[in-house]
C-alpha cells in the first residue's frame, strides 16, 4: 500500500530539502511513501483525496518518480532527483575530473571535506548525485544501471 503524505510530513520534508540543499520545489506535487523509507513525487493532476480513494480501491504498486530516501529525519535525494533539482545551493562538493570518473563508476571517494551527512557532488556545472560523507570518505549511491564502465 502507498501512503500519500499529509501536509505536516510534507512540510517537514520540504524544510529538510531547503535546509540541507537549498532547494525549493517549483511545481505542484504530492509526496507518496512507498515501501519502508522511500518517498516518491507525483506531479499529476489528481487531488490527494482521489489518490487516497484509488489507493483503497486498487492495487497500486508504483506512482510518480522515486524522489528520496527519508529515514531518521535525514533526506537522501535519489539519483534522478539530483539532476532535476540541479540548482541546489547548499552542501555541494566540487569534484575533479578523476574524482568524477571514479564516482560515476560507482566507487566511493577518499576525500576529506570536513562535512558529515548527505551531500551533492558536482563536476563542472553538473550534479552527479548524492553521497554520504563520513568526513574523510564519501559513500557512493549511484545506481548500478547508471554507472559507467
Q: Is the pLDDT confidence value at 1 over 70?
A: no
Of 24-28, 31-35, 50-54, 140-144, give the lowest mean pLDDT range.
50-54
Cell numbers representing residue 129 in the block: 548525485
Q: What is the pTM of this model?
A: 0.82
Over the stretch 61-109, which tens digit does the pLDDT of each residue have?
678 888 899 888 889 999 888 888 767 778 899 999 999 999 999 999 9
Write the CA distances from 143 to 4, 10, 16, 61, 90, integer angstroms: 25, 26, 23, 21, 23
The fraction of the chain above a pLDDT of 90, given in percent, is 33
CA–CA separation, 136 vs 4, rounded Å? 37
User: What confidence score (pLDDT) does residue 61 get?
Assistant: 66
Amino acid at each position: 500500500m502507498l501512503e500519500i503524505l499529509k501536509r505536516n510530513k510534507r512540510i517537514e520534508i520540504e524544510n529538510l530539502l531547503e535546509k540541507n540543499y537549498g532547494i525549493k520545489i517549483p511545481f505542484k506535487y504530492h509526496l507518496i511513501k512507498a515501501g519502508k523509507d522511500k518517498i516518491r513525487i507525483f506531479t499529476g493532476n489528481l487531488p490527494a483525496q482521489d489518490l487516497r480513494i484509488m489507493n483503497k480501491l486498487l492495487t497500486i504498486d508504483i506512482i510518480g518518480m522515486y524522489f528520496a530516501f527519508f529515514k531518521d529525519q535525514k533526506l537522501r535525494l535519489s539519483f534522478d532527483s539530483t539532476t532535476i533539482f540541479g540548482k541546489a545551493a547548499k552542501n555541494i562538493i566540487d569534484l575533479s575530473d578523476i574524482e568524477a570518473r571514479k564516482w560515476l563508476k560507482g566507487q566511493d571517494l577518499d576525500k576529506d571535506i570536513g562535512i558529515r551527512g548527505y551531500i551533492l557532488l558536482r563536476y563542472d556545472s553538473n550534479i552527479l548525485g548524492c553521497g554520504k560523507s563520513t568526513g574523510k570518505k564519501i559513500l557512493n549511491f549511484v545506481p548500478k544501471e547508471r554507472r559507467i564502465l
